[in-house]
Structure 1
């Protein structure tokens, strides 16, 4: 074996990357062993790959995913500094958001009474009501809940404040609403649709915004008070109620954001949770 053929175990020691991680990077095409023994066919790493391995380790530490790391390494190789700068800037925004979230968690944990109060977040008594057909402006894509719904909200409200909408005879008739299209909870890659009910006619000049009709439905509904992260309390109460009343799901659930998170404290946020239902036969 020549000195430029480094087996995976030694390369792991040199870079402080685990063998499991190295095998993953190999399978992803991110860091593929370059040297090959002509007699055994075994593949080995080379000394120039040590720097790349350390770069990958550092980028992982900064919180980038493997696909993002591949893009960054390609951009560096091709001298595309604008791509690197944009990705670093976006990651810094995500980090700042994480810091703010963790600071809020720390503040709650330092006040035991407040922490326990979160376990008793309030929901109103469930009720059954009929929701009429609704015309809505809609944006739909896959992603994570907080980030995607927040982005949709900004884009939808941006559109309704635009001259195109303002010149029309259209009016917003209800709060921003999230429609869940998944049958199970997904941390990422969730199928997210955010809508704004409206009446009137308007020419939509943004291809990402659609107009569609939500069907009339009978729902079981509750209003949850508290941070958006705890809205599952409302869903849990509704499912308990449905079991008590012999009801089953008859459509996609809806979450209506009744007040503005920029105007009230997190603990004062109101979210109406609606689940379309029908009697169990």
Structure 2
């Protein structure tokens, strides 16, 4: 009577090498169905193929052996949750990698585009806003939730301009700081987390970032360089105005974000 699949046959079926299968046996990760006590030959059951394939895919994703062992030992529902959690971490890493690649490609252009900067005096405004102290890591999720709350409270007919955000320097320098997300509307009113906020007047050096936000840091850097070159001092939080974004169009190439850097001239006479 046939004992099962030889280690060679099992290796062929699962795309795991014989050497790898022996290592997994020694680590008690994938134990053969039977081992001949006289020859030491390993035999595997056909029912072990799915487990071997799961191990193979998890190792391709660089899941540590100890974590693979925990996943296999878990019940099916818990196993699915563990794998889903690892996939989310991988997706986040891919997002960071993609953003880094986009930024580096733009930075390495031999003739970077000329940045158009406008000096603008923005008057005081009363807006509907959501404010909070947020970590940089959580800022995107927090922004999406706050903007969704504002969108639900004020219909398009109530809005008088594009939404914006005001971000404390500490958010970037210390990894956590004050964030204010707002919408200009005809009649600002409080509701839930939404407050009626008076934004003070501010002088800004403004540049437009076109496209997705993966390389918005490059525009930030070039605007900062422009500020330094023109003898303008920085004072106060950064402003962003979302002229067109994900809520307006699903095409990142069509997004346009105004970055406003608070400034004042070091010479008498104020802004030119």
Is contact 1:257–1:270 with CA below 8 Å preserved after alignment? yes
1:145 aligns to 2:139 (yes or no): yes
1:267 aligns to 2:261 (yes or no): no
Report the CA distance shift for 1:249/1:152 in structure 2 as closer, same or farther (over 3 A).
same
1:277 aligns to 2:263 (yes or no): yes
Task: Quote the Cα distance in structure 1 between the aligned partners of 2:175 and 2:262.
Answer: 24
With normalisation by structure 1, the TM-score equals 0.54
- Structure 2 SS opposite 1:154: helix
1:146-161 equivalence runs, <5 A? 146-161=140-155
Task: Quote the Cα distance in structure 2 between the aligned partners of 1:91 and 1:246.
Answer: 49
Rg larger in structure: 2
CA offset at residue 125 of structure 1?
0.9
How many residues are aligned here? Answer: 191
Task: Quote the Cα distance in structure 1 between the aligned partners of 2:104 and 2:233.
Answer: 34
- 1:194 — aligned with what? 181
CA offset at residue 274 of structure 1?
0.2
With normalisation by structure 2, the TM-score equals 0.56
CA offset at residue 264 of structure 1?
3.8
CA offset at residue 91 of structure 1?
5.3
Q: Deviations over 1:127-172 (max 9, x none)?
A: 10111211111112213222221221111111214xxxx9xxx832
1:125 aligns to 2:116 (yes or no): yes
- Structure 1 SS opposite 2:246: coil
Task: Quote the Cα distance in structure 1 between the aligned partners of 2:90 and 2:194.
Answer: 29
- 1:174 — aligned with what? 161
Root mean square deviation of aligned Cα: 4.2
- Structure 2 SS opposite 1:193: strand
Report the CA distance shift for 1:255/1:158 in structure 2 as closer, same or farther (over 3 A).
same
Q: Deviations over 1:211-250 (max 9, x none)?
A: 1111121110000112213212222122212122211112
Is contact 1:128–1:219 with CA below 8 Å preserved after alignment? yes
Is contact 1:123–1:234 with CA below 8 Å preserved after alignment? no
CA offset at residue 92 of structure 1?
8.2
Q: Which runs of 4+ in 1 moved over 6 A?
A: none
- 1:134 — aligned with what? 125
Q: Which shifted more, 260-269 or 132-141?
A: 260-269
1:253 aligns to 2:242 (yes or no): no
